[in-house]
């Protein structure tokens, strides 16, 4: 089955220029080629085999092109994911506590002690050990 789309000459030139830019992800490169091959009237099965992509990918690229144009068809759709729990300000607060003086009777902070201390502060009621560890790692803060 062939799903032919008709690209304007300006769209073809744009796609060819994008292809030659060199700084492309494989997925974007495949989307460019899907549009160009559909424009040439290639069959979906041939495109699947040639580019090693799924027919659903071809269908999505075609649908995005028809709805929003060539530029939108090349872009990644935003992916769902867990939103950031702690803002930069919250992470800075965590870092300031970790870099500050240790509690009395302790020689240094531990992740467990830091987690327990942070849980007493507003906005950190549900923080866990792994969140503390990852935030400190991201900010390059060492407790040792």
Residues 42 and 97 in one domain: no
Taken in order 109, 141, 119, 127, the sign of the CA dihedral is negative
Instruction: Tell me how far apart the alpha carbons of residues 59 and 113 are, in angstroms, rounded to a whole number.
Output: 52
Higher pLDDT: 3 or 81? It is: 81
Copy the structure tokens of residue 21.
Answer: 């830019």
Instruction: Tell me how far apart the alpha carbons of residues 77 and 126 are, in angstroms, rounded to a whole number.
Output: 31
What is the number of domains present in the chain? 2
- Residue 143 counted as domain residue: no
pLDDT at res. 3: 63
**Which residues span the domain enclosing 97?**
88-138
Residue 37 confidence class, pLDDT cut points 50, 70, 90: very high
Mean pLDDT of 99-106: 91
Residues 59 and 96 in one domain: no
- Residue 21 counted as domain residue: yes
């Amino acid at each position: 089955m062939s799903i032919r789309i008709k690209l304007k000459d300006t769209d073809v030139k744009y796609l060819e220029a994008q292809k030659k830019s060199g700084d492309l992800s494989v997925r974007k490169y495949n989307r460019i080629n899907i549009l160009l091959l559909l424009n040439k009237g290639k069959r979906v099965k041939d495109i699947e085999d040639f580019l090693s992509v799924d027919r659903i990918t071809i269908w999505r690229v075609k649908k995005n092109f028809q709805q929003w144009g060539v530029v939108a068809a090349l872009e990644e759709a935003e992916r769902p994911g867990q939103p950031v729990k702690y803002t930069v300000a919250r992470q800075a607060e965590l870092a300031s506590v970790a870099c500050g003086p240790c509690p009395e009777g302790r020689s240094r902070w531990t992740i467990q002690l830091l987690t327990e201390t942070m849980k007493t502060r507003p906005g950190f009621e549900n923080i866990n050990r792994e969140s503390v560890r990852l935030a400190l790692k991201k900010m390059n803060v060492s407790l040792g």
